[in-house]
Amino acid sequence: MAGDGWASGAPTAEVYRIDWLPGTDVLHGICHCGAERTAEDPVELWQWMLAHPTGHHPTGHYPTGHRKEMT
């Protein structure tokens, strides 16, 4: 993919985050656009993130048991 930084080795500003929800088998992913999704399968979560913007709707919602870290 041209312009994504992979071919040149240059870093991108896109940040993806996956957190494990303690006490569950659930992972919570946050795309660089702010869209969020939960899944038990890490491959499914990464495929969703890397498919951006398909299926991405930023909500700012955090699942029960997930704490947003203060910056």
Residue-wise pLDDT for 18-29, tens only, equals: 999 999 999 999
Sheet (strand 27-30) strand order: 17-20, 27-30, 36-39
- pLDDT for 34: 85
Q: Check residues 60 and 11 and name the one with the higher pLDDT.
A: 11
Residue type, 48: W
**Cα separation of 10 and 22, whole Å?**
34
pLDDT at residue 61 is higher than 70: no
Q: What is the pTM of this model?
A: 0.59
Burial label, 38 (beta-carbon count in 10 A; 0-12, 13-18, 19+): middle
- pLDDT for 42: 92
pLDDT at residue 70 is higher than 70: no
